[in-house]
C-alpha cells in the first residue's frame, strides 16, 4: 500500500512539473512569455513530427542533465532536437531557463531556436544544427579529426564566442550572465563559425543597473570563477574568467585540469610556468607547427591571463576582449598576406630566371 502511495506521489509531482513547463512554453498565467510572441518567432511541432524528423530518434548527438539531443531534418534542413528527460529535476529547471532566455535573445554567435514540442509529457526544443560539433572535440588530442585547427581558425572561434558573450552582457537589457562558458558549450557550424550554446544555467540581472546576482555557485570545475564560488556574487566578470580558461585551451590545446602524482594542475598554472621561459612556441599548441604570428599569440596569452585575475575588478570586460582579439586576428591575417606577397615575389623572380635561362631559338621543324 505504501509503495502504491509513493508511486502516486511521484507521478503527481512529475505531472505538476510538466504542467509548469507547458505553461512557461505556451505563455500561460505565471509566465513572462506571451503566446503570440512564441507563435510569431518559433513553430510548434507535434510529437509525431518530432519522431519523423529524427527518424525515430536514431542518431544521438549528445546527452545532458536535461535529457538527450538528437539529429534530425525539417525537410532538407538539418536540426538538433533536445528532448526533456522524464526524471531529471535539474534538467527541467535548466530547460525552462533556456526557453525563457532563447525567447528574448537573437545574435549570430548564439544558437538559434527553431521550434518546440509541447505534447503531454513530450517536451522538446529544436535548434539549428551545428555540423562541426563542439570546440572541445577539435581541441582534444583524443579526437579523430583529420585536421587540427590552425591559428587563424582559433582566433576566429575565440572572437565569435567573445562577441556572443559581449552581446549577453551589453546587448541585453538587463544583462545576462551565461554562467557555464566552456569549450563543450561552443558549437561550430560547417564553416567553423562559433556560437554559444546551453543557456540552462544562465542568470538575468533583476534590473539594468544591477552589478551582481546573489546565487549559489554553479558551473563546471576548472572553468568556474573562484571569487564567485566563495562570495556567491555572480557578475559578468565570472563569464570573463571562464572565457579566459577557454582562450587558454584554444591557444595551448591542453586540458583544463591535469593530475600528476595525485596533484591537480590548472591550465593557468602550466601556462604561467611556460610564459616565464619567454618562448611562445612552447605555449602555443604544437599541432600548429609554429605557423602563427608571434605578437598575435603573445597578445592572446596576455588577454587570457588578465581574464583569469583572482580579483574580478582586475579582469577586462568582454567588450575590451573583443577589441583585443580583433587586433590579434588582424595581425595574423597581415602575416599571412605578407607571406603570400613574398611567395608571389619569389615566383615572379623564379619565372624571370627561367625565361633568361631558356633557349628562345625556334626549334627546327
CATH of the domain at 214: 1.10.510.10
Flag whether 361 is in a domain.
no
Q: How far apart are CA 333 and CA 341, in angstroms?
A: 12
Question: Is the same domain home to 199 and 120?
Answer: no
Among 153, 160, 180, 198, which one carries the catalytic annotation?
Answer: 180
> What CA–CA distances, in Å, run from 305 to 113, 184, 221, 255, 356?
34, 21, 18, 16, 55
In CATH, what number is assigned to the domain containing residue 99? 3.30.200.20
Same domain, 111 and 226: no
The DSSP symbol for 76 reads T
Q: Determine, yes or no, domain membership for 359.
A: no
The per-residue pLDDT for range 138-158, each reduced to its tens digit, is: 998 666 666 789 999 999 999
Low-confidence ranges of the chain (pLDDT < 50): 17-18, 21-22, 24-40, 348, 351-353, 355-365
The helix or strand, by DSSP H or E, that contains position 61, with its residue range, turns out to be: strand 60-64
Nearest to 116 by CA among 40, 198, 215, 43: 43
Contacts of 286 (CB under 8 A, 6+ apart): 253
Whether residue 231 sits in one domain with residue 167: yes
Indicate the annotated binding residues.
82
Q: How far is CA 13 from CA 7, 8, 64, in A?
A: 10, 9, 21
Q: Which residues make up each annotated binding site for ATP?
A: 82
Based on the fold, state whether residues 31 and 100 are members of the same structural domain. Answer: yes
Q: Answer whether residue 307 is part of any domain.
A: yes
> Do residue 154 and residue 303 come from a single domain?
yes
Run of H or E including 230 = helix 226-231
Residue 46 lies in a domain: yes
Within a domain: 351: no
44 and 117 part of one domain: yes
Write the pLDDT tens digit of every residue in 208-259: 555 556 576 777 889 999 888 888 888 999 999 999 999 999 999 999 998 8
- The rounded distance, in Å, linking the Cα atoms of 144 and 80 is 22
What pLDDT score was predicted for residue 214? 56
Residue 173's domain comprises 135-338
What pLDDT sits at residue 15? 53
Same domain, 78 and 179: no
Same domain, yes or no: 163 and 287: yes
Q: How many domains does the chain have?
A: 2
Q: Are residues 279 and 300 in the same domain?
A: yes
Catalytic residue list contains 180: yes
The tally of CA atoms less than 13 A away on the side-chain side of residue 53 is 29
Contact 318, 243 (CB under 8 A): yes
Q: How far apart, in whole angstroms, are the C-alpha atoms of residue 79 and residue 257?
A: 33
The predicted structure's pLDDT at residue 362: 38
Amino acid at each position: 500500500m505504501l509503495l502504491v502511495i509513493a508511486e502516486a506521489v511521484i507521478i503527481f509531482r512529475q505531472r505538476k512539473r510538466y504542467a509548469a513547463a507547458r505553461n512557461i512554453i505556451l505563455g500561460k498565467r505565471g509566465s513572462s512569455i506571451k503566446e503570440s510572441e512564441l507563435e510569431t518567432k518559433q513553430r510548434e511541432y507535434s510529437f509525431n513530427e518530432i519522431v519523423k524528423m529524427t527518424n525515430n530518434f536514431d542518431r544521438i548527438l549528445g546527452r545532458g542533465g536535461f535529457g538527450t539531443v538528437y539529429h534530425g531534418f525539417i525537410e532538407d534542413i538539418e536540426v538538433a532536437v533536445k528532448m526533456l528527460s522524464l526524471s531529471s529535476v535539474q534538467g527541467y529547471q535548466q530547460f525552462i531557463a533556456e526557453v525563457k532566455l532563447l525567447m528574448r535573445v537573437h545574435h549570430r554567435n548564439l544558437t538559434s531556436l527553431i521550434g518546440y514540442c509541447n505534447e503531454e509529457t513530450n517536451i522538446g526544443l529544436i535548434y539549428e544544427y551545428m555540423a562541426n560539433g563542439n570546440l572541445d572535440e577539435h581541441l582534444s588530442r583524443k579526437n579523430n579529426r583529420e585536421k587540427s585547427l590552425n591559428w587563424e581558425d582559433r582566433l576566429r572561434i575565440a572572437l565569435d564566442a567573445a562577441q556572443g558573450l559581449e552581446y549577453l552582457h551589453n546587448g541585453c537589457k538587463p544583462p545576462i550572465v551565461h554562467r557555464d562558458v566552456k569549450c563543450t558549450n561552443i558549437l561550430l557550424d560547417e564553416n567553423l563559425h562559433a556560437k554559444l550554446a546551453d543557456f540552462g544555467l544562465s542568470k538575468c540581472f533583476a534590473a539594468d543597473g544591477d552589478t551582481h546576482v546573489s546565487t549559489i555557485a554553479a558551473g563546471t570545475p576548472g572553468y568556474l570563477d573562484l571569487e564567485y564560488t566563495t562570495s556567491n556574487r555572480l557578475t559578468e566578470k565570472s563569464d570573463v574568467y571562464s572565457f579566459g580558461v577557454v582562450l587558454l585551451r584554444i591557444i595551448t590545446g591542453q586540458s583544463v585540469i591535469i593530475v600528476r602524482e595525485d596533484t591537480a594542475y590548472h591550465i593557468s598554472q602550466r601556462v604561467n610556468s611556460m610564459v616565464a621561459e619567454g618562448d611562445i612556441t612552447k605555449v602555443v599548441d604544437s599541432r600548429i607547427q609554429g605557423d602563427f604570428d608571434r605578437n598575435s599569440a603573445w597578445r592572446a596569452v596576455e588577454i587570457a591571463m588578465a581574464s583569469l585575475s583572482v580579483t574580478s575588478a582586475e579582469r577586462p570586460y568582454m567588450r575590451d576582449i573583443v577589441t583585443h582579439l580583433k587586433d590579434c586576428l588582424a595581425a595574423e591575417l597581415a602575416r599571412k598576406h605578407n607571406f603570400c606577397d613574398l611567395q608571389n615575389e619569389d615566383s615572379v623572380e623564379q619565372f624571370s630566371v627561367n625565361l633568361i635561362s631558356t633557349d628562345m631559338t625556334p626549334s627546327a621543324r
